[in-house]
Homo-oligomer: A and B are copies of this chain.
Amino acid sequence: MQPSDMQISELPTPCLILDHDKLNSNITMMNARMRGHGVLLRPHVKTAKSLDVARLINNGDTGPITVSTLKEAEYFFSGGFDDILYAVSIVPARLERVKTLMEQGCRLKLILDNIDIAGQLGIAGDAMNTQFEVLIEIDCDGHRAGLKPEDPQVLELATLLANQPGTVFKGFMTHAGGSYDCQTPEQIKQHAAREAKAIVDCAGIVRQAGLSCDITSVGSTPTATFADDLSGVSEVRAGVYVFQDLFQVGLGVCGLQDIALTVLTTVLSHKPEQNRLIIDAGGLALSKDHSTASQSLDCHYGLVCDAASGELIEGLQVQAVNQEHGLVSSTNGAMDFSRFPIGSQLRVLPNHACMTAAAHDRYYLLDTDGLLNDCWLRCNGW
C-alpha cells in the first residue's frame, strides 16, 4: 500500500487515524514545557509503541525513553534507542533478556521495591558477570508498587544496590497515579508537588548517607502538564500526551481539539426505533476502557466525529460495545440517519488512547490536506 496516494475513505475499517499536526503540536508543547523546567523528558513509549512517534519527539533522532515491557525495550533498541528505563518491577526470570540487551549495548535501567529481589539481582549480576543498573520505585500516593518515601528500607535498599558488585544504584522513580483521580488542575498541581517531593526526599536521604543518586524520575501526563516546580527532579516520564484522549480532556490536561488519535469506523446498520446507529468499532477496536465514567462527562466508549474533518458531532456517543459492534446513540434528540448512511465513515475519539491503540498494528497518518501521508507500525504484545 502507498498510503500517500490514499484518501481516508479508502481505508479498511476499523483502523487508527493519527492527525499529524495535532501529534506534532502535543509533542512540541511537552518538549517546551520540560525545557522550561530544565528537566530531561524521558517519554513513556507504551502509549504509541512506535519508533516513528518516538523519533518525532526527538526531532528525528533517538533519545532516552521509558518502556513498560521487555518487548518494547527490544523493539526500540533495535531502532537505535539505547537509553531505556524499564518501568515495571523486575523479576529474576527476566534477567536473561535484560542481559542480552545490555550485551548488545543497551543502557537498560531496571526498577524494584524489594530487598530480596535486590539481593537476587546482585547474585545474578555476579554470576552473569555484569552489573544491573537499578532504580528504586517509590510509592507517592498508594496507587501502584513502590516503597513509601519514609520507609527505612529505602536507605537499606539503596545501600545494598550500591554496595553489592552485581548491581549499580542509579536513583529513584515514582508515578503519580493519583493524579488520574483529580477533579481540577489545582488538585493535579498538588499531586505533582507530592510526586516530586517523594523522590527529592529519598534522594536527600541517600545522599546524606554518602551515596550518589543520578536519577530522580517522576511522571504522568497530568503532573507533567501542571507541575509548578520540578527542582531536584532530573527527568519526567509522560506518555499519553502525544495522543491525548477523552480522559485527559476530563482532567483538564487538554481540549477535545488536541486529541490526535481517532478510530476510523463504518456505519453498519440503522436502528430508528432505538434512535441509534451501529458501527464497526466495538470493544476490540475501541477497547472496553470506560474510565470517563468516573468523570463529570461520561463519554461511555467514545465521542463521535466527522470522518473527513475530525470535527465533533454534537450529541453522538458510543453508548455500548460488543466485540465488533459499537452502538452509537444520540443524546441530542432524534438521530438524523440521512447524515450517516450505511457504509459511510465516522471517527471515534477514545477514552484512553493507550488501551485503544493496543488492538491495532498500525497508524495511518493524516495530513492537514486530508490525505494520508504515511503508515507507522506498532509493537504489541510481550
- Measured CB to CB, the residues of A under 8 A from B are 12-15, 46, 68-69, 88-89, 91-94, 113-114, 116-117, 120, 137, 139, 142, 144-146, 148, 177, 266-271, 273-274, 278, 280, 283-285, 287-290, 322-325, 327, 341-343, 354-355, 358-361, 380-382
- Check if A91 sits within 8 Å of B342, measured CB to CB: yes
Q: Within the complex, what minimum Cβ distance (angstroms) separates A349 from chain B?
A: 17
Query: In the complex, what residues of B have CB within 8 A of residue A322's CB?
Result: 144, 177
- Check if A325 sits within 8 Å of B266, measured CB to CB: no
Q: Within the complex, what minimum Cβ distance (angstroms) separates A281 from chain B?
A: 10
A337→B257 CA distance, assembly (Å): 47
> Is the contact region of chain A dominated by helix, strand, or loop, or is it mixed?
loop
- Check if B287 sits within 8 Å of A93, measured CB to CB: no
A280→B86 CA distance, assembly (Å): 13
A289→B323 CA distance, assembly (Å): 11
Beyond contacts A91-B266, A91-B343, A360-B381: 12 other A-B pairs, Cβ-Cβ < 8 A, are A12-B382, A68-B323, A89-B269, A93-B343, A116-B341, A120-B343, A137-B269, A144-B278, A144-B327, A146-B269, A283-B355, A359-B380
- Check if B269 sits within 8 Å of A113, measured CB to CB: yes
Out of B113, B274, B285, B289, which one reaches A288, CB within 8 Å?
Answer: B289
**Least CB separation from A90: chain B residue:** B268
Contact A268/B14 with A142-B274, A284-B358 known, Cβ cut-off 8 Å:
no
Query: In the complex, what residues of B have CB within 8 A of residue A145's CB?
Result: 268-269, 271, 278, 325
Q: Within the complex, what minimum Cβ distance (angstroms) separates A337 from chain B?
A: 11
A382→B265 CA distance, assembly (Å): 12
Query: In the complex, what residues of B have CB within 8 A of residue A113's CB?
Result: 269
- Check if B323 sits within 8 Å of A355, measured CB to CB: yes
Query: In the complex, what residues of B have CB within 8 A of residue A144's CB?
Result: 278, 322, 325, 327
Query: In the complex, what residues of B have CB within 8 A of residue A358's CB?
Result: 284, 359
In the complex, the 5 A-B pairs of residues with the closest C-beta atoms, listed nearest first: A145-B269, A89-B268, A91-B343, A288-B288, A68-B324
Query: In the complex, what residues of B have CB within 8 A of residue A327's CB?
Result: 144
Q: Within the complex, what minimum Cβ distance (angstroms) separates A277 from chain B?
A: 10
Q: Within the complex, what minimum Cβ distance (angstroms) separates A379 from chain B?
A: 12
Query: In the complex, what residues of B have CB within 8 A of residue A114's CB?
Result: 269-270, 342
Contact A324/B88 with A144-B278, A145-B278, A382-B14 known, Cβ cut-off 8 Å:
yes
- What are 12 residue pairs bridging A and B, where the CB atoms are less than 8 Å apart in the complex? A88-B325, A114-B270, A117-B343, A137-B269, A144-B327, A145-B271, A145-B278, A284-B358, A285-B382, A287-B288, A290-B290, A359-B359
A139→B274 CA distance, assembly (Å): 12
- Check if B15 sits within 8 Å of A382, measured CB to CB: yes
